[in-house]
Amino acid sequence: MTNNISGQQDDLSYTFATWVFRLHIAGFDGDDPTLSETCAAIDSAVDETAGNDAGQSLVNRVAELLQGKEPSQVMATAAALYGERSAGLLGEGTRDERTHRIRKYQFEKGLPWLARIWERNSEGEVGPVWLLVERMTDEVAAMDPNPWNDIDEDRNLPVGDFQVLWELDGCPSIHIV
């Protein structure tokens, strides 16, 4: 795991696909039969090659469905897949209110959620990056956006640092209610 937030790949297709797969495992299938079938193929894969191929198929399908990288576009994609079960309420309010709401959500649902923050990449440019947030304690744990490769990209950020980076983008979030 890394605390280094620079140089991370912002590939929304992988991040969103991993979120879709995690929701599938938790019993939340999107309204797209191809996504559901592909998630089932990943889950039932008996060897690495089959799992990797199914994972790449999931990423490809998500790339076809994504309407863009802006929060409203990503939320529209989530709404198209999950209907009224998708929401973007975790980023509302003060820092304390957000932290309380997120911790309540993770206690009640135990599901990862998407957040977009601003950070510096390896080329020194600052821009938006989508994270798949797994949990928030004294640190924010963001999942590896591409668990199908051998590169460990799990990330841990202090809550205060995460809040600042999140606030730079207006605290966009997407979760399942």
When mean pLDDT is compared over 48-57, 106-115, 117-126, the highest value belongs to 106-115
Query: Residue 160: which pLDDT band, with cuts at 50, 70 and 90?
Result: very high
Query: Residue 4: which pLDDT band, with cuts at 50, 70 and 90?
Result: very low
R_g (Cα) of the chain, nearest Å: 16
91: three-class secondary structure by DSSP = coil
Is the pLDDT confidence value at 147 over 60?
Answer: yes
Q: Which CATH superfamily is domain 12-176 in?
A: Phytochelatin synthase, N-terminal domain (3.90.70.30)
Length of the chain: 177
Query: Residue 159: which pLDDT band, with cuts at 50, 70 and 90?
Result: very high
What is the pLDDT, as a whole number, of residue 22?
Answer: 96
pTM (2 decimals)?
A: 0.90
Q: Where are the domains of the chain?
A: 12-176
